[in-house]
Amino acid sequence: MKLFGKLPSLRPWRLFLLGWALVLAGGLLAHLIETAGGVRLSEVRYPGASGEMLSGLLYRPPGARPEHPAPAILASHGYINTREMQSPFAIELARRGFVVLAIDMAGHRPSGGAVGTDDGGGPAGLKYLQSLPFVNWSQIGLEGHSMGGVPVIGAALAQPEGYRSMVLEGSTTPDLGQVGAPTARFPRNVEVVFGRYDEFAPLMWHEPKGALVGQSDKMKALFGQAADVAPGEVMGDMAAGTARRLIIPPVIHPMEHFSAAGIGAAVDWFQRTLTGEASPRPPGDQIWIWKDVGTLISLIGFAVLVLGTFGALDPRIIVSEAEAARAGRAGGPARWALSFLAAAAIPAATFYPLMDLGFAFFPTHAYPEWVANQLAVWVLANAAISLVVALALRQGRGRWSGGWLKPAFLAILASGMGYLAILVCDALFKSDFRFWVVGLRPLDKAHARYALHYLPIFLIAFLVMQRGLIGALVARRRGVAAQYATGALALSGGFIVLLAVQYGWLMTTGLLVSPPEALNTIIAIQFVPILAFAGLAGVFVWRRTGGYMGGAILCALVVTWYITAGTATHWRPGWSVPHSAGLFPDRPAPKPAA
């Protein structure tokens, strides 16, 4: 006699369950690494000078107590980055006994204000560190990557005696919007870590290549000498605050804070210039990479979970191989190849000119994120170009099969499940979903409002994109693997080629093919995984609904969330366009390449 009826099958829920398993396992691994050795990790809030509320992650080692105050580090990320980008430094310094405050710069979620407000919040961060009873206020160091030099230089200018040493990773001395000039006495005990292939050498040190920054006039002024600065040598007097060292590791700008060389150099400098850390270790003793492995696992789990949620709610595979075979006979292989090349090449070929054009979409109250505005111009222009190309090539188009209400509802539920997952990881582990320059984090109320403003723009773009992708390319391929490969490569392949050319040339010559596009080139790195996900998601949803609507809505929701949570807010009451129409003041022209 059967006590129970037939149990429901778990087969449709396999991806859903796998996604949650990856999300939680990755978050747990990241948390264990960040708290290794008994370090306590907490989010803190403190007021900025203009009244804005600033945020950061505080790493407190077990030996840091009021009766035994510990040395401390104020660490800042760069432009359109987040505090989590400083976790490699924070992990290694905290496990050695340093208190670390990794801040979110003003204008970078969840900190308030806008880019440039109160020197990025650096002076306020230093004051907050000094207020902690378990911090030795006479042993404080400052570290900033890229535009993170703004907060740390700002803190040093505000309190010339309030810190003891500084590390500038891929950054520079006062030049990013602040007054002052580098001298042999300012900043105090400074180490410059600048990659041999750093894309910003012309901007920051006025030399065409990272390998040549030692001969920069600005670097010579910092070191107080007329001769070229030799990398690796410690110069000056640490007790007097005039110690100097230049390190040039063989890395690009986004790798300076994600490399053993860059992190080891910072650890070594702070262990030399500050005293009192409880557990000194060799600079090469590093475990931070496992935290990034953990957040990578969570990021992959997020993608699996989102698709798994959609698949569990609508598990049918309604696009048959026979239907794909019939579609594949339409148009012929030549037209398919032209459509594939157009889909891959157009977004990458238009990226630089349209991002530059989008710079004229100045921040407003409704659209306050300058980089998001540039991307909005790029995606809308590409949608228009894609429609023209589709007409010229007489491409097929995706269908609206299954209507639009149900696919839209499922897309909202799937992205909502992904959002729930990141809230859970944030609450349990204080971790987001990221790897290297790709990171997804929760929205606050202000950024959720911004996302609603940007969403229609990206929805239009993804409707056009998925229409062409499915109708002209994916539906004409036989075999599941071929369909998914087509979806991923048709959208991301152009950026893979673009970046291979740019960085291949950089590694060969020390220069990008287009040096003025350094920032946009680094931004472009993110679009390889983002667009690959969009292609995979479009195919996944199409196979279950027979149409492209659900995939377009799902991609628009996730990508809009990603962009608005991860870029910087520029608009604020009273904001005006900088006279140079740029992020930074005008620069002297770089020297010609050697």
What pLDDT digit, counting tens, does each position of 84-102 carry? Answer: 999 999 999 999 999 999 9
222 CB-near residues (< 8 Å, 6+ apart): 173, 182, 183, 184, 190, 192, 244
Q: Each residue of 335-391: pLDDT tens digit?
A: 888 889 999 999 999 999 999 999 999 999 999 999 999 999 999 999 999 888 877
Separation between Cα atoms, residue 86 and residue 76, nearest integer Å = 7
| Residue whose C-alpha is closest to residue 142's, from 213, 150, 68, 134 | 150
169 CB-near residues (< 8 Å, 6+ apart): 143, 144, 145, 146, 148, 193, 256, 257, 262, 266
- In this structure, whether the domain defined by 26-287 belongs to CATH 3.40.50.1820 is answered with yes
Evaluated on CA atoms 583, 587, 589, 591, the torsion sign reads negative
Percent of the chain with pLDDT over 90: 76
Q: Each residue of 465-507: pLDDT tens digit?
A: 998 888 888 887 878 899 999 999 999 999 999 999 999 999 9
> What ranges do the domains of the chain cover?
26-287, 291-566
Q: What's the pLDDT at 545?
A: 87
78 CB-near residues (< 8 Å, 6+ apart): 85, 144, 145, 146, 147, 148, 170, 171
Residue 9 carries which DSSP code? P
Q: What's the pLDDT at 323?
A: 57
| Residue whose C-alpha is closest to residue 99's, from 75, 123, 67 | 75
Q: Each residue of 198-242: pLDDT tens digit?
A: 999 999 999 999 999 999 999 999 999 999 999 999 999 999 999
φ/ψ of 577, rounded to 5, equals: -65, 130
Separation between Cα atoms, residue 560 and residue 550, nearest integer Å = 15
In three-state secondary structure terms, 428 is helix
Q: What's the pLDDT at 244?
A: 96
Residue 469 carries which DSSP code? I
14 CB-near residues (< 8 Å, 6+ apart): 308
Q: Each residue of 410-447: pLDDT tens digit?
A: 999 999 999 999 999 999 999 999 999 999 999 999 99
Please state the rounded mean pLDDT for residues 388-412.
Answer: 73
Q: What is each CA distance from 377 to 108, 224, 282, in whole angstroms? A: 22, 46, 48
Q: What angle separates helix 14-34 from helix 87-94, to the nearest 10 degrees?
A: 50
pLDDT of 166 strictly over 60: yes
Number of H helices, E strands in the chain: 18, 10
What are the structure tokens assigned to 37, written together? 């050795």
pLDDT of 574 strictly over 80: no
Separation between Cα atoms, residue 569 and residue 364, nearest integer Å = 10
Written as one letter, the residue type at 56 is G
Separation between Cα atoms, residue 488 and residue 331, nearest integer Å = 21
* pLDDT band at 577; cut points 50, 70, 90: low
